[in-house]
Structure 1
Amino acid sequence: MGLQILSVLYNLIMQGLQVYRIALVVYFLLSWLPGGYQSSLGQFLIRICEPYVGFFRRFVPPIGMISLAGLVALFSLTFVGYGVNAVFSMLFNLVRQFG
């Protein structure tokens, strides 16, 4: 029973990270389209992506006119996925051992 709950929770978190990763890529691609951020999709993506990417903008300086904060944000999300994978791997082992 505990293993099933952990498995469902793990899958939800990993799928959520994947959906957010896709949202970030679409958010970045909208910057290439004139008026892309003024669309309803653009406004929605600004609300969900800008707080996360804005955090990295404070620490990653732009190079000329190009901001690398988005790229760093995307890569860091990949590392978050690795961390989630490691934590759940340990939890799965504990449940198998003691449960």
Structure 2
Amino acid sequence: MIVYFFMSWIPNARENKFGQFLSKIYEPFLEPFRKIIPPIGFIDISSIVAIIALVLFQRSLANIFNLIISNLA
């Protein structure tokens, strides 16, 4: 996702096959964030917010699993 984020700064980088491949993977995830957070000038901060949300979700999920495992032991 970070590579896809940086590709937005390079002109025509998302039009090649690799960019299109990443677009098919990440655009469905980024679309709800883009509806909520508009771009500021040429900078799309919705990608940054999406990465932060993904990290927070991952940490929350790990904490839930740790709680379940500690209660089972």
Q: TM-score, normalised on structure 2?
A: 0.87
Provide the residue aligned with 2:68 in structure 1.
Answer: 91
Tell me which amino acid in the other structure corresponds to 1:33.
Answer: I
* 1:38-60 CA-partner distances (Å, limit 9, x unpaired): 22211110001011111100111
Radius of gyration: which is bigger? 1
Runs of 4+ in 1 over 6 A off after TM superposition: none
Aligned counterpart in structure 2 of residue 36 of structure 1, from 3, 13, 38: 13
Aligned counterpart in structure 1 of residue 41 of structure 2, from 46, 64, 74: 64
RMSD: 1.3
Q: Percent identity?
A: 33
Tell me which amino acid in the other structure corresponds to 1:90.
Answer: L
Gapped runs of 5+ residues in structure 2? none
Aligned length: 73
* 1:39-83 CA-partner distances (Å, limit 9, x unpaired): 221111000101111110011122223221011001101101111
Gapped runs of 5+ residues in structure 1? 1-23
Tell me which amino acid in the other structure corresponds to 1:47.
Answer: K
